[in-house]
Amino acid sequence: MRVRSEKATIGTILKGNGYATSWFGKNHNTPAFQLSAAGPFDQWPSGMGFDYFYGFMGGETDQWTPYLFRDHSQIFPWIGKPGYNLTTDLADEAIKHMRDLDAAAPDQPFFVYYVPGGSHSPHQPTKEWIDRFKGKFDMGWNVMREQIFANQKRLGVIPADAQLTPWPDELPKWETRSADEKKLFARQAEVYAAYTAYTDHEIGRVIQEVEDEGKLDNTLIIYIVGDNGTSPEGTLLGTPNQYTAYNGILEIPVAEQLKFYDTWGSSATYPHMAVAWSWAFDTPFKWTKQVASHFGGVT
C-alpha cells in the first residue's frame, strides 16, 4: 500500500500547524522495495510529516536484534549491550526525545506517535516479566475465557445479559490435552502475557515523562491496543519459530517444542502461541485477527 502524495497524514497536518512530530516503533507503511539508503523516502516517516523517526521497518521484528532505523539510517544499538530489548529501548528513546524538546522549546506543542512491537509476534519479553506470569495460565484456555467473560461483565465492559460465543469444534478443549501439551501451551500464554504487560509498562514510562514535564493535563493521549485481535499464525500447537511456517513446516511436534521451554521468548526463539489461546484472548467475540467478518478479528 502507498499513501498518495495528495493525502495528508496526521504528521503532515500537525507539523504544518507548528507541532514537533516524532515516530517511535513500528513502520509498516514503506514498501519493501524502498527499504534502502537510496530511498525514495516519500513513503518513510520523514515523507509523512515526521521530523524524527526511531523504529523498525515492516510488520514485526526481533526484539533482541531488531531491524532498526534512526531516520533513514539502519542502526544496531544492541551490539555490546547484553540484555538489550527493543521494547525498553523505544521507551528510552521517546523519553529522551521529549526531554530534549522540553529543554529546547518547552512551549512548542508536540506529537509523539509511539508504536511498540507488542503484542505482535514474536513474543519476546524479558525473563523478569516472564517469571511474573509463571503458573498464571495453568487453568487452560477454556476456563480463562470464562474468567475473562465474567470480569468483563463485572467491569461493565459488556452487558450483564451477554452470551458467550460458542467454542468451535475445530479447536481442542483444554481438558483433552496431555500433560506435556498443557505444560507447553501454558508456557506460550505466560510469555504472551508477559510481553503484553511489559509493553504496557514501557508505555506507562512514556506517559509518566509527559506528567513529569507538567504537560499531562494539556496532552491528548490516544491509547490503542489489540493488533486487530489476537493472531492465529501459531497454528494449533504454537511454534518456537514462526519462520518455519514460511518454509513449509506448518506444525512442530510438542515434544520438539518442549526443548525450547526454558528459552521460550528469548533470543533463541521467535515464538507464537497456539490458536486456541488467540481465540480465548479475543473474548467475548469469536474468531481472531485476519477474520474481519467477526469482531474477534477487529478487536
Mean pLDDT of the region 162-190: 97
Mean pLDDT of the region 138-156: 98
Q: Higher model confidence: residue 225 or residue 160?
A: 160
pLDDT class for 293, splitting at 50, 70, 90?
Answer: confident
**Could you tell me which of 97, 68, 71 has the C-alpha nearest to residue 206?**
97
Integer angstrom CA distances of residue 224 from 32, 118, 136, 227, 230: 26, 12, 25, 9, 14
pLDDT class for 296, splitting at 50, 70, 90?
Answer: low
Is residue 186's pLDDT more than 80?
A: yes
Residue-wise pLDDT for 58-73, tens only, equals: 999 999 999 999 999 9
pLDDT recorded at residue 92 = 98
pLDDT recorded at residue 290 = 79
Ranges 90-94, 265-269, 282-286: which has the least confidence: 282-286
Number of continuous H segments (helices) and E segments (strands) in the chain: 8, 5
DSSP 272: B
Is residue 298's pLDDT more than 70?
A: no
Mean pLDDT of the region 222-228: 79
Residue with cell 512530530: 21
CB 141 within 8 A of CB 182: no
Residue with cell 468451535: 168
In the chain, % of residues over pLDDT 90: 84
Dist CA 61 CA 116 (whole Å): 10
Residue with cell 491509547: 223
CB 21 within 8 A of CB 15: yes
Is residue 220's pLDDT more than 60?
A: yes
CB atoms within 10 A of CB 29: 16
Q: Which residues contact 292 (CB under 8 A, 6 or more apart)?
A: 298
pLDDT recorded at residue 246 = 82
Is residue 225's pLDDT more than 80?
A: no
Cell of 93: 528513546
Is residue 183's pLDDT more than 60?
A: yes
pLDDT recorded at residue 233 = 86
Is residue 232's pLDDT more than 90?
A: no
DSSP 9: P
